[in-house]
Structures are given as C-alpha cells and as structure tokens.
Structure 1
C-alpha cells in the first residue's frame, strides 16, 4: 500500500516540479527583460558612460545580477561568452544562453553604425531548477505517503475488526448459539453485511421457535386420540393368559389385546417425552412469554369435550369468557392443562363429571380442575415427581407444578365441590400487584404453600364408598 501511494505521489509531484521550474524560469527571464529594458531605453537616448551606469544602478537588485553593457568600449565583464554576445549583435535579436551558475539574457541595441548588447544574468536559484524546490517536493511526497499509510491503516483496521466480528458470530451460530449478534461497523458494505447477519439470526430464532411450537402443538393434539385408544383398549377383555385354560384362538386374542395395550402405553410415553422436550426448548428460546389463559382453556376443552361426549362425562367451563393474561408460554400452559385433565380421564370411571374454572383476583390467576371421582388419598405423594398410586409415570401433576412455579405461583390439591379431587394452578397476574390477603383464603393459603413448599393433605382418606 505504501509503495502504491509513493508511485501515485511521484506521478503527480514530478510533473508539478517541472511545471513549477518552468514557471519560475519564465518569471525570472521576464524580470531580466524588464531590467534590460531600463538600460536599452537609456542607451537609445545617450551612450554616456556615466548616464548608462546610473541606469544600471537604477535596475536595483544584487550587484552581481545587474545588467552589463557590451560594445561601449573597455571590458564590461559579464558571464556570457563573446561568441554569444557577437551572435546576438549580429542577429539583432534577444537570446537566452546558458552560463555558469544560471542563464544570461542578451538584448542588442542599435546605436548608429554600431550595436551594443545588454546582458542580464539570471541565477539558477531564481529559475526553480535548484535543489530547494525538489527537496520541498520530496518532503511533500513523504508527508503524503505517511498520511496515506496512517489513514489506510485505520480504515483497514476497522474493516478487519468488523470482518473478524462477523467470522466469530458466524462460527457461534454454526455451533448453535442463536443469541449472538454483531455491531454493524466498518465500511458501509461490511456494516450492511452485519445488519443482514443480525436479521438472519433473528429469523433463525423465530423459525426454530415456530417449529418447536408446532411440534408441541401437534403433540398436544395427539393426547386426545391416544386417550380414546387407551380407554377403548381398557374396555376390552382381560389379557391375562396365566390363569385358566384357553383355546388357541382365545390365547391369540388375549395376546393381541396385550400387545395393543402395551403399544398404546409406549406411544403415550413417547408423546409425553416429546411434549416435555419441545416445551423446554421453546421456553429456552423465547424466554419469558405471555398467553391468554381463557383462550388456552377454551382451545384445549374443544379436544377434551369430544372425548367427554364419547364417555358420557358431564363437563363445563366457567370464567373463560374474558381475556386473562398469565406470564407463561402458551405451549406450557396447554401441556399442564392436558396433563391434569388427562388424569381425570385416566383415573376416574366413565361418566364421571368434571369442571374447569378460571378466576382472577388478589393479583393471581387461578385455574381449577374439579372432578366427581374418588379423589386423591395422598396429595403430597401425587405432587412429587415420578410418584403415583395408579401405576403411571407420575409426571402429570409435576408438569402442572413446574408451569405454575415458572409463573411465580403454585399448585394445590384439595377436595372438590363435586366430591372428587380439585387441582388448582395459581399463576401470578402480570397486570396486578399482589397484595396481602386473608391468611385463611385460597390465595393466602396457596401463597403460604408456595413459600414453605408444603401441601395440604386430605383431612381423611376417601374410600370408594364415599
């Protein structure tokens, strides 16, 4: 880069130096012609040596450069050769000849039958051909090269920093970190590339989140037909082949029933894993989110109502007419509702009524799922992850508890007005400030349970005859 800048400077400064030298030479010769004209005018009037001497002195300047008159007798001195002086007189025209130390201008003057020649010496220092001019131009060239190197270095450093930042960000995205962004800096082109990179990363985040939400939504939709299949499979005959004697056809039929039930159980487990995985990924990608609790409840009940109709289960939804926000992603709240409502269908007999209610007060949103079944004998055990008295994985209520904790709430199990279990999910209301409430009320009890980690037990175990 420095060599290129030096070549460009030389390409401009060498012609500039020549031009300046020519101009200085022309100006110096013009000044010499002016001084020579003062003397030639005097000679045209008088050839008296004294008069001519006064005219020479009147030209001023350095005595070494004052005009010299040849042809008036004697040796006037001067720097021009006699041959050049004779040639100027013979040709009777002004000439400029080179002499040691500079140039000499020779102007002939016709004085009757003789010709006088006026010589004016022009030193090299006044013609621009001296070393000072070229030293000055060389200094300018060096200054231009240094300035160009500094400017280009700064510009190149900014461009290099911006390019390195883009490389690091691209490698981070390639490694799976979609949160990385770059500061659009450097030249305009690199700044535009940085802005385009940020838009691309934002789009990747949105696309991945949409994809995972779609998978989670599809998984939720699979719960209802799977529950129907499981219930229909449970209504089939026993698959026990260890007691009694059976024909070959009966053994095959019972084995087929066992395989069907095992396949449905395996598929349910896979769907549960898929839902948990996708909802965790969506929560990690999107961070804090908001949803309309009423809308989620209405949407999920569209699916569960169809199954409830097949099983002759009376059901109703209350309090889900108005918008009620909650600080939890929609997919996670839907998963929690599916887990709790699915438990109602799994562990209560067909025809058992259930109710889903939404309420909003005291800075909290409560989602309550009641049923008319036999209830839960040990609420604490039911809320522990992986624990169940029904032979299941025990993850259903744990999903609801984790969603409630994410929304700064809690989950409680109590006796329902319908006679069975009442699962209440308490979520913080983002549009209201929680306040101190009656310590004996529902919200106060749930707040205490959230702080202490305790859960209320049933006052007594509920038997099947109750």
Structure 2
C-alpha cells in the first residue's frame, strides 16, 4: 500500500509541479528579455536624442556588454546574419532572433530618415538564471509530499489492516464453532460498522442456537404427556409374569404382548429423556423466526385440556375440580403455548404424585391480571427456587415442565410462582396479563403528576384550611 501511495502522490505532484516549474522558467526568461529591452532602450534613447558619438559610446558602455549599435547601412560585428539585420532595420518593431548561445534582440531607431539598429544579446545563462534552483525546490517539495503521504497513509492503513485482520480472525473462529468471540470495532467508519454488524450476527447466532436447543427440549418434553398416559395405562394392565403358574398358549401370548408394550414405553421414555438432556440433535423442521402471536381464551384452553386429563384422572381415581373456567378470559399468548404450559404442569402432577392424589385447576382475574393456578394434594416440592430453574429437578427428570410454563407466562407479560398449596401439595400459579383490562392511569404522584398539575392550574392542590371543628 505504501508503494501505491508513493506512486499516486508522485504522479499528482508531477502533474502540479511540472507546469509550475515551466511557468517559473518562462518568468525568468521574460525577466532577462526585459533587462535586454531596458539596455537597448537606453542606447536607442541616446541615438534618438541626437547625442554625438561620444554620448552614444557612453550610452553603449553604460548599457553593458552584449549591446552593439549598428549605424545605418552597416552590418559588421553582428551575431545575426546580415539579411536579418537589414530586415530589422526596415521595420519599426523590435525583433528577437534565436542564435547559438542565446537570443539577440534587434531594435530599430530612425533619426532624420536614417535607421540605426541596436543589438542586445542575452545569453542562455542569463535566460536560465534561477531556473535550476526553482526545479530543485520543486523537487524537494515533491519528495516531502511523497514522504508525508506515505507516513500518513501508513499510519491510517495500519489501523485499518489491524481491524480487518481482527475481523477475519473472529469470522474464522465463529466458523470453527467458537460463538463466544467478539471484536472491538475500530478503524474507519465502514470497518467499525462491519465490526458492530459482526457482533450482532454472533449474538443472533448464540440466541438462535440456544433457542433451537430449548425448542428441541420443549418439544420433547411435550411428548411426556402422551407417554405418561401410555405408561399409566400399561401399568393398569394385567401382570406380565409368565414364569409363575401354568397358562394356556393364548394367555402366554397376551402376557408377552403386555410385557412388550411396557418395555417399549420404557424404551421410548428413555429416548425422550436422552433427547431432552442432551438437546444436541438437529431440529427436523425449520422454526419460524417470529413466535406465534395473538390472543387465546384461557378458560377455553382449560376446558379443552381438562377433557383429556379428566379421563386419565378417572382411571387413577383422582378427585379434581375446575374453578372459574366458565366465562371467556382472553390472554395475549398463543393457544398452543398456553395448552403446552398447562399440559406440562398437569403432567408433572400425574407423574410425580401417587395415584388417587387430588388436584385443582382454577382461573381468576383481578387488577388487569389472570391467574391460572394448579394445586395438588401431593407431597409438595422441598426447594421451589431450584425447581423453577431450567433443567433442575428433584425427581430425576429433565426439569423443563415448569420452565415451559414460565416461558409462556413471560410471553404474556407475566410470571410463574411456586408455593405450598392449601391442599397440602405444590401450587403452581401462572400470572398472565388480562387482554381486556383497561390501560392503567398515570400516577398523580411524583414528578409526572406534579408537572401535570402545574400545567392545569384548576387542578392544583389547594392548601388545607383550618376550621373550628378541626
């Protein structure tokens, strides 16, 4: 880059300095010819004034060397050919003729009908006096500009090259799988913007990768609901022991089928657990960039999912109750997400509480919030804070059920809390924003309220007045 800069600067300076040097040379030449004109004019003035021979010789001597006066009709001692001298005497304007070693200036002077010619010689040395010095000065200026440009460009290019090198190394690191690499944007504005764009891209990659793994885990966790039903139904079947007692061939086939069903369910549960725990398998289908948006009726979701869970509760002799799901209660969360969150919590109830344990699902709305509460009469959870962390569980599971509920609640602007239920077991409360709640009024207290009252004098707080009854 330094070589390119030097060549570019040299071409630019040459394009500027060469015409300037030529103009300076012309100025020097014009100055030398002006001095010759002055000397010729001094001699011509003496001749025109009718000075005698001594006066003219004195004028020629005063004019200096190189000035010769040719009397009318004479051509001796001239540096130019005779015909040029005769031609100059016939004219009225001065004439400049190039000769070896310089330039001759011929100026005619007519007195009394006779024309004399004043010849002034200017040597090449006089014409070029000062030109070499000017060229050396211009050459020094050009070299200074080139050196300065190289230094400045090198300093600027060093920072740009360092920024590009850092960007390349970071891109190669990200391509190699290290998504934690970030760069400090520096250099020119375009490279700095590229650095900021790279950091944003890396952040998006990390977020996408995390979301992808969580999506795999969450989708796998949703499989727990039908697997739980299958496992419970399989446990309700007859024994599968074929070693004790004597059985007919049909009974042996039936018991072996039951055993295969139970083994298949256990194997399938193990595979799902492995998929949840590792979350390293690739997602089979592309996930939409934006999450599903819209409103859903929380009461309708509760009624719909309880149709499914009530059948399983009846098989396990679980007493249950649904409260507050009669009226429409819209919440700003997708129906599929809310149903998945409810299934995840109820699945934990059926999986980790003994058969026959009662539970309750209730809906309530107050002060712009909707509370979806799932209580059970089981043993409860010893460490609620740990249970609310993603991937944490005291039962040996993946611990994603409550996290699915938490994410659905946060998508609706709410939260999830875990406490001891009045029934004695765990109480999971999903707090969701009420989609039909009126917007909250701005507080009249604080700086905003004071500014509003100051703008409206009629609403200013009046001072209290003491009365006799006080």
Q: Same fold (TM over 0.5)?
A: yes
Counterpart position of 1:423:
427
CA contact 1:124–1:130 (8 Å) conserved in 2: no
Structure-1 separation of matches of 2:401 and 2:212: 25
Counterpart position of 1:180:
182
Counterpart position of 1:450:
none
Match of 1:92 among 88, 95, 107: 88
Counterpart position of 2:105:
105
Moved more, 226-235 or 10-19: 10-19
2:364 is aligned with 1:369: no
CA contact 2:273–2:397 (8 Å) conserved in 1: no
Counterpart position of 1:260:
261
Moved more, 109-118 or 218-227: 109-118
Counterpart position of 2:148:
147
Counterpart position of 1:249:
250
Three-state SS of the structure 2 residue aligned to 1:13 is helix
Counterpart position of 2:462:
none
Structure-1 separation of matches of 2:138 and 2:164: 38
CA contact 1:108–1:117 (8 Å) conserved in 2: yes
Structure-1 separation of matches of 2:255 and 2:297: 40
Structure-2 separation of matches of 1:125 and 1:250: 133
Counterpart position of 1:233:
234
Where structure 1 has 5 or more consecutive residues not aligned to the other structure, the ranges are 58-62, 74-80, 280-291, 326-330, 430-466
Residue-pair matches, total: 390
Counterpart position of 1:310:
311
Give the structure-2-normalised TM-score.
Answer: 0.62
Three-state SS of the structure 1 residue aligned to 2:239 is coil
Counterpart position of 1:117:
118
Give the structure-1-normalised TM-score.
Answer: 0.62
User: 1:135 Cα deviation (Å)?
Assistant: 0.7
Q: Deviations over 1:305-330 (max 9, x none)?
A: 242232355442559958699xxxxx
CA contact 1:400–1:411 (8 Å) conserved in 2: no
CA contact 2:373–2:428 (8 Å) conserved in 1: yes
User: 1:221 Cα deviation (Å)?
Assistant: 3.4
2:84 is aligned with 1:82: no
Match of 1:43 among 47, 50, 65: 47
Structure-1 separation of matches of 2:68 and 2:225: 126
CA gap of 1:167–1:179, structure 2 versus 1, over 3 A, is closer
Structure-1 separation of matches of 2:192 and 2:404: 47
Following superposition of structure 1 onto structure 2, how do residues 327-406 of structure 1 map, counting pairs within 5 Å?
338=343, 340-346=345-351, 347-349=353-355, 352-356=358-362, 368-371=373-376, 375-376=377-378, 380=382, 393=396
CA gap of 1:141–1:296, structure 2 versus 1, over 3 A, is farther
User: 1:96 Cα deviation (Å)?
Assistant: 3.8
Structure-1 separation of matches of 2:192 and 2:313: 65
Counterpart position of 1:20:
24
Structure-1 separation of matches of 2:63 and 2:200: 79
Three-state SS of the structure 1 residue aligned to 2:223 is helix
Q: Deviations over 1:182-235 (max 9, x none)?
A: 6374264x4565465456445545544554454344334323222222222222
User: What is the RMSD of the two structures over their aligned residues, measured on CA atoms?
Assistant: 5.2
CA contact 1:103–1:122 (8 Å) conserved in 2: yes
Three-state SS of the structure 1 residue aligned to 2:118 is strand
Where structure 2 has 5 or more consecutive residues not aligned to the other structure, the ranges are 90-94, 281-292, 315-319, 434-470
CA gap of 1:47–1:71, structure 2 versus 1, over 3 A, is farther
Counterpart position of 1:133:
134
CA contact 1:220–1:338 (8 Å) conserved in 2: no
User: 1:145 Cα deviation (Å)?
Assistant: 0.9
User: 1:158 Cα deviation (Å)?
Assistant: 3.7
Structure-2 separation of matches of 1:344 and 1:197: 46
CA gap of 1:244–1:379, structure 2 versus 1, over 3 A, is farther
CA contact 1:39–1:118 (8 Å) conserved in 2: no
Structure-1 separation of matches of 2:310 and 2:374: 18
Moved more, 343-352 or 332-341: 332-341
Structure-2 separation of matches of 1:263 and 1:170: 46
Structure-1 separation of matches of 2:192 and 2:200: 13
Counterpart position of 1:77:
none
